[in-house]
A and B are shown apart, each in its own frame.
Chain A
């Protein structure tokens, strides 16, 4: 991508949060433009393959449901593989949204303002993708509703000791709250869109969506309170969701799964992948939609710094689980952790450590932090690394556990790969549609921030 005109000479210590001389009008125009402009060729060039990939995803789903899980590479002992890996990976990605929008809001981090909507949208689409896998993964998906507690004619209830039952609540709550949070945050902008709608239809649609928002002082006060409350509500979820997902493993007796360190370890990993995904999305978006004035290097800089922090948390997790298990000396644990480093999947383990722990260290250099290209590639690598982490956790713990006679190598099938790739395409197409029909940057918040900043300046 060509160096934008707002680019600031690196190393840059304190780039502005809103670059250039902006007025409410200019911001208004600049931030709503993506919605009113016809999508250019680049949009279609992304959307066409993405929707094609979505069709591939649907085809693989069809195969899995009609023919059976046998279409996947799973076997005994590796009864969980790609399906769960993808689930955990997507759920993890879904974490940054709430972190940025809720936690950073509570911490009064001004820089969150311009990126939070993209982050939240990403969260919702990621969680939606994630949510599909556990159901697809069932041998008899049409009975998935048996996991819900409801009075049936069998007088049989779900097993509340099982982490999978907890997952249902954790994930669905997270999805619901994220959607509400995202939507409530959007209401003023939807109203703005309504008011500037060129056609009747658009006005009607945005009108309904904006729930009759008029921007009265009263409404604004209510809105601020509601938004803060929601933020408070969403914050614990950032921790709870992946903690509970980690229980799927930690609660078992399996060497490599039976780890007390898993809850924090998983949350850290989740945030790591989430932030990486935000970077992966924000960098091209700000360039394509010419949002550099509001998503400045300052934002990327902040995200990169967060990423360093997460990489250390994750690295600590890796070190600890290896150390504790070697030190504990249980032969089965020792074997599993040795097999991760030297066994059949050693390469994937190396990718995991390399991408998640080593790569982010380049962000110590402010120069590199300020370079969108470097940032983007590093972020992409971290996404790969986090996927590998989940693969290592799920598969290498299963393929060589207690009874050697059952040891067996796992290899994915085409359907497995199709589902992973397809879910990425599904995610991409949903995100592209979001960019097309909703303002990617919260207009009102940015304007507000703009006023705050100018007052501070004065």
Chain B
């Protein structure tokens, strides 16, 4: 009975038998890893805006409070994109001739919106409410990161459901006094845990993990 295959084919067969499952598992693992990368989450990717607006400059240098522009963040679901008139409030005085602001002026006088680009995109079936988070003492920085250090704003949080649930299940680590919500650099002083507890009690913070909290 003569040999049909060269000797090395045995090794090949063996490695195929053992290697096959390994490769398969590796592919699956790779997929699972990929959906957890910024590339898939579209985070850590600075968004170029029609008007070169520098948060770093406005927040850090000029010390403008978030709520000056995002006016409805503490009373409505949407934080509110500033109306052009808000920009012009200052820029009719300062830099009122700067070419960089031409589009803003144009918008103001032609009554056409500035087509700002969305940075944080939640799916249509997710209902997020800024006001309730802010009023329960969740700081802007918790989700939006150090905007005061961003020349161009980028999404820092993964915005995945598990990430949301992390906080909704254990809100305690993410609370601060209401007065400090817009403070980018705030750190709890003294006994952090105790203060968190006190805050949670004061703002009646409780875990909310019912599906309809976000999906309706």
Contacts and interface: CB of A to CB of B under 8 A. Distances in A.
A154 B162 contact: yes
A203 B4 contact: yes
A152 B31 CA distance: 11
B165 A155 contact: yes
B161 interface: yes
Contacts of A204: 4
Contact of A153 (B1, B5, B10, B161): B161
A203 B36 CA distance: 47
A102 to B, nearest CB: 24
Is the interface on chain A under 10, 10 to 19, 20 to 34, or 35 or more residues?
A: 10 to 19
Given A155-B162, A211-B13, A212-B13, A150 B1 contact: no
B32 A150 contact: yes
B132 interface: no
Most chain B Cβ neighbours within 10 Å, of A154, A155, A156, A207: A155
Interface in B136-180: 158, 160-162, 165
A151 interface: yes
Contacts of A298: none
A155 B166 CA distance: 10
Given A195-B1, A212-B10, A212-B13, A153 B165 contact: no
Contacts of A195: 1
Interface in A205-222: 207-208, 211-212, 214
A112 interface: no
B35 interface: yes
B13 A153 contact: no
A340 B11 CA distance: 62
Given A211-B13, A212-B10, A153 B4 contact: no
Contact of B160 (A150, A151, A154, A214): A154
A154 B158 CA distance: 12
B68 to A, nearest CB: 35
Contact of B5 (A151, A156, A212): A212
Contacts of A194: 4
Interface in B1-40: 1, 4-5, 9-10, 13, 32, 35-36
B161 A156 contact: yes
B16 to A, nearest CB: 10
A154 B4 contact: no
Interface string B105-119: 000000000000000
B13 A155 contact: no
B145 to A, nearest CB: 19
Interface class of chain A by DSSP: loop
A156 B9 CA distance: 45
B36 to A, nearest CB: 6
Contact of A207 (B5, B35, B160, B161): B5
A12 B25 CA distance: 56
A95 B171 CA distance: 53
B206 to A, nearest CB: 19
Contacts of B36: 153
Nearest to B4: A207
Interface in A169-207: 194-195, 203-204, 207
Contacts of B162: 153-155
A98 B88 CA distance: 79
A157 to B, nearest CB: 12
Nearest to A151: B32
Contacts of A203: 4
Contacts of B161: 153-156
A200 to B, nearest CB: 10
A214 B1 contact: yes
A142 B96 CA distance: 54
Interface in B25-78: 32, 35-36
A155 B9 CA distance: 44
A211 B162 CA distance: 46
A47 B4 CA distance: 33
Nearest to A150: B32
Nearest to A153: B160
A101 B88 CA distance: 83
A139 to B, nearest CB: 15
A43 B9 CA distance: 36
B9 to A, nearest CB: 8
A214 B9 CA distance: 15
Contacts of B9: 212
Contacts of A214: 1
A258 B165 CA distance: 37
Contacts of A154: 160-162
Interface of B: 1, 4-5, 9-10, 13, 32, 35-36, 158, 160-162, 165
7 contacts: A153-B160, A155-B161, A155-B162, A195-B1, A203-B4, A208-B13, A212-B5
Given A153-B161, A153-B162, A195-B1, 13 more contacts: A151-B32, A153-B35, A153-B36, A155-B161, A155-B165, A156-B161, A194-B4, A204-B4, A208-B13, A211-B13, A212-B9, A212-B13, A214-B1
Interface of A: 150-156, 194-195, 203-204, 207-208, 211-212, 214
